[in-house]
Amino acid sequence: MHPLKTRQPYPRNQWWAAAYSSEVGRELLGRTILGERIILYRTERGEPVILSGLCPHRAFPLEKGCLSGDRVRCGYHGFAFSASGTLEEVPSQTAIPAKADLRRYPVAERGGVVWIWTGSEALADETLLPDMAALGPGSPAWATEQHRLATIAARYTLLIDNLLDLSHASFIHADTIPGGNFVAGLPVDLVETPESLNVRRKGNGLPPNPFFKLMFPDHAGPLDQSFDAEYFGPHLIRTGGALYDSANGALLGTQNYLHLITPETPSSLHYFVITSRDFATGNPALGQTHMDMGLRIQPQDKAAIEAIELVLQGLDSPPREVSARCDTGALKVRHRLETQIRAEECPA
């Protein structure tokens, strides 16, 4: 599926953000992830649970049912399942049919996010989870904000493309990102490791602006600002980065924008954004400013990639693509993603 050249649209042996921790509680939450309907809730002890979302009896969506203790009861004919997915009760009889269990997905909670493993349970490995604390969320040394979850009617790869080519900041976000108009003109530096691929830009000697002032009230002169776009996998991209005193190169702090991307269907995605910083952590006005900016920036990206999705769906064949040099990172990311998917399509 354009822009990937693979049969499957996404990898399955992968952790994905399923929900913010605050969304998951003692009510059933229904969601579609990678084309599969799931339900999320917490046990009475507070542990997150993710089960398949359709009753195996007559395919009724389980989120329309209810929780009874740790059990999920279907809202149609009352079949009840334990938190491990086992069918435990059929109201009209005492015997329990075989092979009627729900799939229980491997689940983990990190950095205020409930993560789901969508692939083979045998391969679920918590060491593959992103190190959220290192990026801010969950670490006491950082302040973080969770932005409103957006569900976007576009294939998830369009959002990856979007984030890996930050030159768009100078056009789509010219009025919403302070300093964004500098980005397209900055040289690009590519840092590749097995863990990530970082498309780095640095704006040197950027003149003071009100946003810088809010971040660093004690600093008066120009700043050197990082515009990283670091791909850890299709589930997580970090933008932003370190800020320095232009006068002496001293590190002032790090401002991360964490983009958690989860395919909903082949042509839609869930988009979780978390901002985090290791400076001015006690300043609620700065956090509020990030939330306000997010409300203006995110709809611009949503509108852009939804417009492209509509274009693609109207085409009989994939569009031609002319790439610029600053697309190199995005193209390498596509290649990484294709390699990951192909390894699942045709295991060695």
Instruction: Tell me which residues touch a copy of itself (CB under 8 A).
Output: 35, 37, 54, 56-61, 64, 73-78, 87, 90-93, 95, 97, 99-100, 161, 165, 167-168, 170-172, 184-185, 188, 304, 307-308, 311-312, 314, 319-326
What six digits make up the tokens of 233? 């996998």
| Shorter beta-carbon distance to a copy of itself: residue 58 or 335 | 58
What six digits make up the tokens of 109? 């909670």
CB of 152 to a copy of itself, least distance (A): 15
CB of 60 to a copy of itself, least distance (A): 6
What six digits make up the tokens of 18? 């399923």
CA 311 to chain centre: 24
| Shorter beta-carbon distance to a copy of itself: residue 196 or 328 | 328
Strands 66-68 and 223-226 turn out to be unpaired
Four-residue CA torsion sign, 283, 288, 293, 299: positive
Cis peptide leading into 106, omega within 30 of 0?
no
CB of 174 to a copy of itself, least distance (A): 9
| Shorter beta-carbon distance to a copy of itself: residue 247 or 310 | 310
CB of 92 to a copy of itself, least distance (A): 4
CB of 188 to a copy of itself, least distance (A): 7
| Shorter beta-carbon distance to a copy of itself: residue 218 or 321 | 321
| Shorter beta-carbon distance to a copy of itself: residue 78 or 253 | 78
Q: Give the Cα-Cα-Cα angle 166, 168, 170 (nearest 5 degrees).
A: 105
| Shorter beta-carbon distance to a copy of itself: residue 218 or 316 | 316
Q: Give the Cα-Cα-Cα angle 112, 258, 321 (nearest 5 degrees).
A: 140
What six digits make up the tokens of 31? 């969601």
Q: Is 164 helix (H, G, I), strand (E, B) or coil?
A: helix
Rounded distance, CA 116 to CA 131, Å? 15
Strands 107-110 and 66-68 turn out to be unpaired
Rounded distance, CA 74 to CA 182, Å? 55
CB of 73 to a copy of itself, least distance (A): 8
CB of 124 to a copy of itself, least distance (A): 23
124 close to 117: Cβ distance less than 8 angstroms? yes
| Shorter beta-carbon distance to a copy of itself: residue 22 or 171 | 171
